[in-house]
Amino acid sequence: MGWCPLFCKGNMGTLSLVLLLLSVQWSWAQEDPLLPFSEHLDLEHKVQLKWGFNEIQGTILFELTVNTSGWVGFGFSPKGGMTGADIVIGGVGPEGRYFTDRHAGGNSMPVVDQQQNYKLLSLTESDGKTVMKFQRSIEACDENDLPITNLPMKLIYAYGQNDNIMYHSTRRGMKELNLLKYMPRVNPPNSNFFDITMVNFSVPAKQTHYHCKIMRAANSTFIIERVITNLDLVHHLLLYRCPLTVTEPFEAECYTGVDGECMETVAVWGVGGGAFEFPEVAGLPIGGNVEDFFYRLEVYYNNLNKSAGRVDNSGLRFYYTSELCQHDAAVLMTGLAVAPGYAVPPKAKSFLTYGLCDTAYIPKVLETPHDLQVFSVMLHTHLAGRKVRVGHFRGGKQIDLLAADENYDFEYQEVTNLGKTKPVKLGDKLLVECTYNTENRSTLTWGGLSTSDEMCLAFLFYYPAMNLSRCVSFPDVTSLGSAMGATDLGTWLYMMFTKTWNDTSTNQYQQTLKRIDQLVVVTNSNNNGSHNKGTLPDLSVIPSAPCMSGCATKSLALLSLLLCLAVQWASL
């Protein structure tokens, strides 16, 4: 993804990052956390669609506002026309509200579906506007519904001047949108940019190289996009903010010098990803006195051919406008601390590791801690990763999966929108679980930076920003050693290297890792950390509730449909 945080200039010379796609009429109105995305479907701005979704539960929520007091229709079309379209029609008429799930065979009146799979949540009409809020499953529930995919889809709309559902004349249209991966990619008006990149860096003739460069951010800073000059070499890159103690530029192989102090993630780009843009309400803050901070650009070169003499200028492009942001956003690294002290056994079909972020410790490192409104995540493991799930716990109970990727692919990493803003309250715990496959490996896979090592991380994009850098955990080495019967580190290492790794021993080791005490660490921007002991909670799957309780009309068509619809209205 090229990643597009964008900064906006705040008052008094401070800068904060804003999002693209500020529509001109952008207001500071309170955003509905369940409906973070919004687009006008027509050029005249009479038809507005807001939406949000929950991929874990498999549902999507819409709010359609049309400048009419007649009927309104909305749907999904295979080719953009009526043929084969999945449509909902609703309105407020003289006899009250009406709302039906329909489908169209051709350019004719859409027929009411046998099974009603759209659930009406509210329907109002006032000041010549009709607002219809409804929910459906992301999947298709019957042959007359179309599934919502994470590709651009053709959305159609139509409306009437009164409540007689009939030909809509010119009051109709189509717009193509990717609802589940919404990236508006509108060029910010009046924006300038500058780049933070490598400059004529000679990529070494070795397979894995992490190169780091510390520099001041330019005066007015607004990120936006990756600038990759060698797509075959650059696998991913990160931008970190340095603590104020770092006051000099620096360039070297990563983690060989002062660069290791700059650990507060600001921006991420991974191979295969598309552009990332912030939601309207928040922008990434390079915040505060931007000139005071140095930033570290880390580029991971995957030089498979070990070719010599390649020169690279990759990095990130920062755009800025003079717009003010509603909220400053930030990125928090959560998961399993990256360190060479844990190992995934070889020949394992499925091996689980965990990292815990316990937000109860945030107040120990910050003066003004507060809840996090999380809107996007980037999940990250290396080659052996197959799945990543982030469990969300409150008061000792799992309340959600914050995010999940059941088909993790190292070659396709990107920042994904959660579909709605999920509040993480201080005191909540986030458990990052990674599933690895090491079937084809014959030696231990250690935690570490190289592609052949492993990581288990979730980068959370949230607002309002806090001066936080990491919220991670790590299995307590002493507990692990003694649980496995080792008296010291040397004995433990010897044990790990000489063990016969079969299903039994792998399972046992996995259970031990899960059971023992964890070292739970929260670190602020100054690298001041709070270190505590903790244990890992159990993660369960949140059952998805795909198909709405529809009104099935297979047998006694009309009567039961009317009854069912009447019940839906009554329950509004």
Ligand X SMILES: *[C@@H]1O[C@H](CO)[C@@H](O)[C@H](O)[C@H]1NC(C)=O
- Nearest Cα neighbor of 18 from 223, 174, 165 is 223
Which one from 380, 392, 408, 463 is the annotated catalytic residue? 380
Backbone angles phi, psi at 25, to 5 degrees: -90, 20
CA distances from 396 to 129, 197, 422, 519, 538 (A): 45, 44, 18, 18, 10
For ligand X, give the closer residue by CB, 500 or 555: 500
Q: How far is the CB of 437 from ligand X (least distance, A)?
A: 5
CB atoms within 10 A of CB 526: 14
Cβ nearer to ligand X, comparing 485 with 543: 485
Decide the pairing of beta strands 385-394 and 429-436. Answer: antiparallel
Name the residue nearer to ligand X (CB basis): 398 or 437. Answer: 437
Catalytic residue selected from 118, 159, 182, 210: 210
**DSSP state, 486?**
-
Chain length of the chain: 572
Q: Which residues contact 566 (CB under 8 A, 6 or more apart)?
A: none
Q: How far is the CB of 508 from ligand X (least distance, A)?
A: 9
Active site residue 210: yes
Kindly report the backbone phi and psi dihedral angles of residue 320, in degrees, each rounded to the nearest multiple of 5, phi listed first: -145, 150
Q: Which is nearer to ligand X, 109 or 205 (CB)?
A: 205
Smallest separation (angstroms) from ligand X to the CB of 37: 20
Residue written as token pair 């053709």: 154
Residue 68 CB, nearest distance to ligand X (Å)?
A: 8
Task: Judge whether 295 counts as a catalytic residue.
Answer: no
Q: What would you report as the CA-atom Rg of the chain, rounded to the nearest whole angstrom?
A: 26
Q: In the beta sheet, which residues pair with residue 120? A: 134
**Residues near 524 by beta carbon (within 8 Å), at least 6 away in sequence:** 365, 366, 467, 468, 469
Q: Which one, 412 or 569, has the nearer CB to ligand X?
A: 412
Separation CA 233–CA 302 (nearest Å): 5
Minimal distance in Å, beta carbon 47 to ligand X?
9
Smallest distance, ligand X to C-beta of residue 42, A: 9
Q: How far is CA 570 from CA 72, 120, 308, in A?
A: 21, 11, 72
* CB closer to ligand X out of 45 and 79: 45
Among candidate residues 329, 434, 337, the one with its CA nearest the CA of residue 390? 434
Residues that bind ligand X (CB under 6 A): 44-46, 67, 128, 199-200, 219, 232, 287-289, 304-305, 307, 437, 439-440, 465-467, 500, 502-505, 526, 528
Give just the sign of the alpha carbon dihedral 41, 47, 52, 53: negative
DSSP β-bridge partners for residue 225:
317
- Short-list 240, 257, 253, 239, CA closest to 211: 253
Q: How far is the CB of 287 from ligand X (least distance, A)?
A: 6
Which residue number, 244 or 252, has a Cβ lying nearer to ligand X? 244
Q: Using CA atoms, how far apart are residues 540 and 433, in angstroms rounded to an integer?
A: 11
**Residues designated as active site:** 210, 380
